Amino acid sequence: MSRPNQRILADRSVSEIGLGCMNVSHAYGIPLEPAQARQLFHAALDLGIDHFDTAALYGFGRNEELIGDTLHTVRQRLFLASKCGMTGVDGKRVIDGRPETLKQTCKESLRRLRTDVIDLYYLHRWDKRVPIEDSVGALADLVREGHIRSIGLSEVSAQTLRTAHGVHPIAAVQSEYSLWTRNPEIALLTTCRELGVALVAFSPLGRGFLANGIPDPRDFVEKDIRRTMPRFNPPHFGRNRQLLDQLNRIAWEAGCTAAQLSIAWLLAKAPFVLPIVGTTSIAHLEEDIAASKVRLSTDTIDKLEQLINEDTVSGARYPAETLAEIDTEETLHN
């Protein structure tokens, strides 16, 4: 089994492909049973993954608890990332970037994760009612107090990153980035390179689409968040499915699966890009990690980018109300 290479994240050498743990507890329907979650986490470690990404929001704290309960005995082997600023309150998702809220969330996360310090702590969403300087200032306090080692931001623009970086060094920005979501290429990728900030790419497989994992969106369970996303609904999904035959053909020519091809494309974009894969399947995780050994020619990369890009993908990545919450640059397409 191929094991992932290493890249630098927050001054640490970590597996270049990390595990995004959201799927275990949140967003895509039925959560894993605790025993299944433990098996997945241990399988990730066995595959060489040491970068585990979670958030207070996922399962409204349950995801952090599962990680803490399962992995606290091997804490020294892990790079733990979590997030604040968006949590569950009375059963509802709430964005709250006030300093006192962020500090309280961190305290609760440390307890659930069964650790004294979080390696990378992201502001999950910028609460636009609170100046970014105030929210990042609170996280800087947590660094000085030894509760977190480094600060990250999630779903922010290049300008917001610059402003925040002026308050305290930002180690990483987490953003959706894949063949079919190219928004970071508008400005964020260049700014991360300039400032020495890692870009942690979530949903590198287009929420399953690029892995041929969605035969029919009508089969999504009731609480699957993809039900609300335009790309998975008519007329967009039918148009997008037309891209898959050629994607699979390029993957066959490259000697890998479509999932591995998509992850390898991200790894080739820049040495400071670190994808995090999200899955509840050990078999899929093994497939994804093997992408670390795939090398793509310039010709293959060109074919991929001509096939799947902001002009050929139909539909916005989020519904309008969600796009209004986030700060990322958006293309004029779709």
- Supply the DSSP symbol for 325: T
Pairing of the two strands 92-95 and 86-89: antiparallel
Pairing of the two strands 120-123 and 92-95: unpaired
Q: How far apart are CA 317 and CA 206, in angstroms?
A: 9
Q: For residue 318, indicate whether it is catalytic.
A: no
Q: Which of 58, 121, 177, 318 is catalytic?
A: 58
Q: Pull the structure tokens for residue 81.
A: 């990332």
Q: How far apart are CA 75 and CA 80, in angstroms?
A: 8
Q: How far apart are CA 307 and CA 92, in angstroms?
A: 39
**C-alpha distances in angstroms, 71 versus 65, 66, 152, 303, 317?**
10, 8, 22, 41, 33
Q: Pull the structure tokens for residue 73.
A: 């005995």
Task: Tell me how far the alpha carbon of residue 221 is from its chain's centroid.
Answer: 22
- Decide if 291 contacts 267 (C-beta within 8 A): yes
From the CA atom positions of the chain, what is the Rg in Å?
19
Q: What angle do CA 47, 67, 184 make, to 5 degrees?
A: 70
Q: Which of 110, 175, 147, 120 is nearest to 10 (CA)?
A: 120
Amino acid identity of residue 277, one-letter, is V
- Phi, psi (rounded to 5 degrees) for 14: -130, 165
- Phi, psi (rounded to 5 degrees) for 170: -100, 125
Q: How far apart are CA 151 and CA 165, in angstroms?
A: 10
Q: Pull the structure tokens for residue 48.
A: 């060489």
- Decide if 304 contacts 265 (C-beta within 8 A): yes
Active site residues: 58
